[in-house]
Structure 1
Amino acid sequence: MKITGYRTLQTVHDWGRPVGDVNGVIASGITDVPIVILETDEGVEGIGMGTHADLERLFPALEGKDPRAVTALYDAMLDRVFKSSHNGATFGGIGAFDTALWDLKAKLAGEPLWRLLGADDRFVTGYASPLDAGIPDDELAALYGRFAARGFTAAKLKGGRDLARDLARFDIARDALGANDPAFMLDANESWNLKQAVRYVSAIEEKVDLTWIEEPLRRWDAAGHARLSSAVRAAVATGENLTGLEQYRPILDAGGVDVVQAGAVWGITHLQRVAIAAHARDLPVSPVGLTANFAVAAVAAAIPNHLTAEVQDLGSPVGVTIDQEIAGGGIVLGDRPGAGIAIDEASIAAYHASGNWQEPAGPHVRSPRAGLRLADQGA
């Protein structure tokens, strides 16, 4: 069997609500979902999700190769772009191809991916994380109530700008979840400096037993994360925007992360390798953004140090069917061979709405004043 080509699709996820964080909000709630389909000479196809970045430059590492050699092909893609940098968006293209390769491998084996990767239990523990920064306080209870109806007792709120509002929203989420002792996390999305983070988290902890504080500082600030971890009770969670083990090494060596995160958009092999690096240090792993790459849930089921996975929405993108159920406070993986992702290309072609994570008002564009505030409030 040989890889002969690939094609790309672009669909959207309609969240049915504004989505965003402290950096910005997409008011329409419609975001883009890139899809990559790897083709073979035997007609079996692999589906990947992530980005379309640099696919043309990466594909020569795969063309004519047996898709079952996933690990070797992953490293071949890294090697292909090592001088021009395999970080950032290019790493997302590698992740999309990587996911498609694993989907192919599992299909050829006639196994669901979670089973191929060695998992015994198809259930993946999760927490509610609906990117809630743009949701008015009076609508927040209904949003978290929908997650509570699926058994969730843990939630991550977006915040970091207004302490009083964040505390009030934790109270709303606690009531909506209806749990005796819910696990709460706060995600500041790299918007603070170190001392601001210490002050803000310390104030939160006077009222809330915070499980972790996520992305409090810039992703590369290993020393700052280590100082913050030693100054607050909450665990420090970070890593979703790091691409490649070489970027994790400084923060792991500095003791700057307590919950090691990996972005789902970077693919399956990446999460496996991050999990091994974390496991060697007795640290738990939490994958982030499974809405951008549902296949990563299969890895979460198989790794020994998985803590909990981010469940951002209860729906799926237009024209995409996922063989899984969100129930019992997590994800129940199905039995369909492969990663469990099916694509209806006709439905995608017929849908005309569009959205873009990179719109200027959205969460993927950093505020020019982020990290430059001394008080809790203000632009």
Structure 2
Amino acid sequence: MATSAFLDFTKATETSTVNEQHFAGLRAGEATTDRITGIDISLAFLPLAAPISDAKVLTGRQKPLTEIAFLFAEIRTESGLSGVGYGYSKRAGGPGLFAHAKEIAPELLGEDPSDIQRLWTKLVWAGASMGRSGLSTQAIAAMDIALWDLKAKRAGLPLAKLLGAHRDSVQCYNTSGGYLSMSIEEVLANAKASVEHGIGGIKIKVGQPDTSVDIKRVRAVREALGDNFHMMVDANQQWNRSTAIRMGRKLEEFELTWIEEPLDAYDAEGHAALARELATPIATGEMLTSAAEHRALIKAGSVDFMQPDAPRVGGITPFLKIMALGEDAGIRMAPHFAMEIHLHLSAAYEIDPWVEHFEWLEPLFNEKLEIAGGRMIVPNRPGLGFSLSEQARAWTTDRVGFGSNS
């Protein structure tokens, strides 16, 4: 037995020495295992079945929404792997995103795709004269998300698992069925269909010029859903402080899960006052375009539910910073839109979050997300778990490629 133990020890020592010799051959700065060889950037427009309106349209600040622009990035490497990511714009901005992304995308060629944080910074500084938030970083988002998709695929893991998941499914709520352009009969029918589909919460838009109309619509939906079903409302930044506090108090009888964007997105002080005064939680943040802006919102005590949007803040890399800020402050999270991306990020968030469901996005991808028991299930496919459909290709209006096409 002593001889056997000695031989095992000798074998283990030899294996360790071989491994040390192998890794010793990699000098500092030469740990690259793959290189980016090709990048495709494309712009597609998803048409909506019917124009939709929220409070921003009723106040005359915007026109009804008829289509959504999507910026797609597809990144290939010399090992044969590929990653896909997207950003988007509602109303104006899509062609601008495409133009900026087209200028800076070649900066990624030849780089190690795993160095995502460094590459995000490189892309930011490539267009720094345009600023380090807003359109310039939203154009980066599609590439950053594609790199995270690629990194998770290399590991053979869903992105949520790569980040370290707290759960395999996330509470989900539907928004697309509750717009102000829809009659209350349509809203109720849409809510019923969502519940039957397994959705766990319903959000409807508010912000009518006549606030009594809002109360009637909220009451009708609450009565249809029952007292214990999760329900949210969204004013899309169109109330002033006095209207917000009055409406907030009137809405308390409905025991809402949250009131979303009651004030201008940058009114941190006003949101903080509402959060202190009202029993109903306050949610906001979807319109912010950087981690720094979210830090200010959290520091002011303005939110009970923060609502970052990965494509709007510049991708997953800055989104992870926002997650860390939120977890440190003990704030719940309900990311805006982009459910294919936010499902994974929400699954990796420590405090039980929500994810927003929009069936509008389903034609863009070959895979569909599964919903059951009020929750959206994290797919077990590597990466983000989606690929672009032929319909997405058909809706593409502009496309440019760099590097190898193979």
Q: Call closer, same or farther: CA 1:56–1:13 in 2, change over 3 Å.
A: closer
SS of the residue corresponding to residue 288 of structure 1 reads: coil
In the alignment, is residue 171 of structure 1 matched against residue 215 of structure 2?
Answer: no
Q: Distance in 2 between matches of 1:91 and 1:244?
A: 8
- Asked if 1 retains the 8 angstrom alpha-carbon contact of 2:144 and 2:316, the reply is yes
SS of the residue corresponding to residue 200 of structure 1 reads: helix
Q: Which amino acid aligns with 1:63?
A: L
Gaps in structure 2 of 5+ consecutive residues: 1-33, 89-96, 398-406
- Asked if 2 retains the 8 angstrom alpha-carbon contact of 1:19 and 1:26, the reply is no
In the alignment, is residue 230 of structure 1 matched against residue 267 of structure 2?
Answer: no
Match of 2:242 among 195, 202, 226: 195
Q: Distance in 2 between matches of 1:180 and 1:221?
A: 31
Match of 1:110 in 2: 156
Match of 1:137 in 2: 184
- Asked if 2 retains the 8 angstrom alpha-carbon contact of 1:156 and 1:187, the reply is yes
Q: CA deviation at 1:3?
A: 1.5
Match of 2:378 in 1: 333
Q: Distance in 1 between matches of 2:262 and 2:288?
A: 14
- For normalisation by structure 2, the TM-score amounts to 0.78
Q: Distance in 2 between matches of 1:237 and 1:210?
A: 11
Q: CA deviation at 1:14?
A: 4.9
Q: How many residue pairs were aligned?
A: 348
SS of the residue corresponding to residue 155 of structure 1 reads: strand
Match of 2:231 in 1: 184
Match of 1:311 among 348, 352, 357: 357
Q: Which has the larger radius of gyration?
A: 2
Match of 2:202 in 1: 155
In the alignment, is residue 96 of structure 1 matched against residue 133 of structure 2?
Answer: no
SS of the residue corresponding to residue 269 of structure 1 reads: helix
Q: Call closer, same or farther: CA 1:15–1:328 in 2, change over 3 Å.
A: farther
SS of the residue corresponding to residue 363 of structure 2 reads: coil
Structure possessing the higher relative contact order (Cα contacts under 8 Å, 6 or more residues apart): 1
Q: Distance in 1 between matches of 2:115 and 2:69?
A: 30
Gaps in structure 1 of 5+ consecutive residues: 354-379
Match of 2:174 in 1: 128
SS of the residue corresponding to residue 216 of structure 1 reads: coil
Q: Call closer, same or farther: CA 1:153–1:295 in 2, change over 3 Å.
A: closer
- Asked if 2 retains the 8 angstrom alpha-carbon contact of 1:323 and 1:336, the reply is no
Q: Which amino acid aligns with 1:242?
A: L
Match of 1:23 in 2: 56
Higher helix share: 2
Q: Distance in 2 between matches of 1:3 and 1:246?
A: 30
Q: Distance in 1 between matches of 2:136 and 2:151?
A: 23
Identical columns (%): 30
SS of the residue corresponding to residue 316 of structure 1 reads: helix
Q: Which amino acid aligns with 2:80?
A: G
- For normalisation by structure 1, the TM-score amounts to 0.83
SS of the residue corresponding to residue 137 of structure 2 reads: helix
SS of the residue corresponding to residue 308 of structure 2 reads: strand
- Asked if 1 retains the 8 angstrom alpha-carbon contact of 2:37 and 2:78, the reply is yes
Aligned 1:1-379 pairs, distance under 5 A:
1-24=34-57, 30-51=67-88, 52-53=97-98, 54-119=100-165, 121-130=167-176, 132-161=179-208, 162-177=210-225, 179-205=226-252, 207-266=253-312, 267-291=315-339, 294-313=340-359, 316-322=361-367, 324-345=369-390, 347-350=391-394
SS of the residue corresponding to residue 182 of structure 2 reads: coil
Q: CA deviation at 1:348?
A: 3.5
SS of the residue corresponding to residue 262 of structure 1 reads: coil
Q: CA deviation at 1:108?
A: 1.5
Q: Call closer, same or farther: CA 1:245–1:316 in 2, change over 3 Å.
A: closer
- Asked if 1 retains the 8 angstrom alpha-carbon contact of 2:166 and 2:349, the reply is no
- Asked if 2 retains the 8 angstrom alpha-carbon contact of 1:239 and 1:261, the reply is yes
- Residues 252-272 of structure 1: per-residue CA shift (max 9 Å, x gap): 222122211101423222322
Q: Which stretch has the larger CA shift, 325-334 or 93-102?
A: 325-334
Q: Which stretch has the larger CA shift, 316-325 or 220-229?
A: 316-325
Q: Call closer, same or farther: CA 1:276–1:218 in 2, change over 3 Å.
A: same
Q: CA deviation at 1:223?
A: 1.4
- Asked if 1 retains the 8 angstrom alpha-carbon contact of 2:48 and 2:67, the reply is yes
